[in-house]
Structure 1
């Protein structure tokens, strides 16, 4: 078949879907990405879960090494990362530090994920 006999298929134009809500802004993505980054480690997920599973969603650092096979300094490092991401807050009581889940940050994550699910137009 020669070049002159080839059929030319017209290029179809992209028909964009209507925007039903504004997408995540660059400014809003930065702190949200930091939270997801903090949660991207399996040990940190387990540490957050260990705090959340306690009464009042609060735990002493000494309670968190139970069942997580890493050293106490490693647990402390992961707690620091979770705290810096805003997922946990901490309070010193005498010689111990207690960590508490920050529900507002978890709610923000939940809202973002719920809004991202196709068909979840609220």
Structure 2
């Protein structure tokens, strides 16, 4: 029974990690929007070219994070799916609410990847 509790805990951790990575992507999207607004505001105020250029560099650094996050999200989806596949005959896992949450997280992440990753 202790092994099953450990498995449920692992499942919960892996599901939370998947959701956290997806949330991180949304955070970078918000940062990108804010940075674009900041740049436009500087341009509207006829700010120094160096200030605008610096903010554009910050924007570029934000955008460059997307491939990394997408890669980690794909890896997390695969890891969770493989883990679940390895527990197919475990009745405690099969009937758990955590498995339902994990499958929902996988589906949500796969849909997200299709919408946000042209390589998929």
TM over 0.5, shorter chain: no
TM value normalised by structure 1: 0.30
TM value normalised by structure 2: 0.30
Q: Which has the larger radius of gyration?
A: 1
Higher share in strand:
1
Higher relative contact order (CA 8 A, sep 6+): 2
